[in-house]
Structure 1
Amino acid sequence: MRYIERWALMRNSCPENLSEHSLETAMIAHCLCEIGNLRYGRSLSGERAALLALYHDVPEIITGDMPTPVKYSGEEMQKAYRELEKGAAERLLSLLPEDLRPRYEELFFPDPKSYLLRLVKAADKLSAYIKCLSEEQAGNREFRSAKKSTERILRSLSAELPELSDFMRDFLPSYGRTLDELIGEEDGEEMPADHKI
Structure 2
Amino acid sequence: MSHFFAFLSRMKLIQRWGLMRNVAKENIQEHSLQVSMIAHGLAVIRNTYFEGNVDCAKVALLGMYHEVSEVFTGDMPTPVKYFNPEIRDVYKGIEALAQKKLHNMLPQELKASYQYLLIKEERDAELWSIVKAADKLSAYLKCLEELKAGNQEFSVAEKMIKQELNECPLPEVKYFMEVFMPSFLLSLDELNEE
TM-score by length of 2: 0.91
SS of match in other structure, 2:109: coil
Does the 8 A contact of 1:5 with 1:16 survive in 2? Answer: yes
Match of 1:135 among 136, 143, 146: 146
Identity %, equivalent residues: 46
**In the aligned structure 1, how far is the partner of 2:94 from the partner of 2:157?**
24
**In the aligned structure 2, how far is the partner of 1:4 from the partner of 1:167?**
28
Match of 1:38 among 31, 45, 48: 48
Post-superposition offset of 1:110:
2.9
Does the 8 A contact of 1:111 with 1:117 survive in 2? Answer: no
Residue identity matched to 1:14: A
Does the 8 A contact of 1:132 with 1:143 survive in 2? Answer: yes
Q: Greater helix share, 1 or 2?
A: 2
**In the aligned structure 2, how far is the partner of 1:102 from the partner of 1:62?**
22
Match of 2:166 among 148, 151, 155: 155
Residue identity matched to 1:24: Q
Who is 1:48 aligned against?
A: 58
Match of 2:86 among 71, 76, 81: 76
Residue identity matched to 1:71: K
Who is 2:130 aligned against?
A: 119
Gaps of 5+ in 1: 186-197
Match of 2:32 among 7, 22, 25: 22
Q: Computing the radius of gyration over CA atoms, which structure comes out larger, 1 or 2? A: 1
Give structure 1 regions of 4+ aligned residues with deviation exceeding 4 angstroms: none
Who is 2:185 aligned against?
A: 176
CA displacement, residues 22-70 of structure 1 (integer Å, 9 cap, x when unaligned): 0000000011011111101211111111100000011001000000000
Gaps of 5+ in 2: 1-10
Who is 1:192 aligned against?
A: none
Aligned residues: 183
CA RMSD after TM alignment = 1.2
Post-superposition offset of 1:111:
2.9
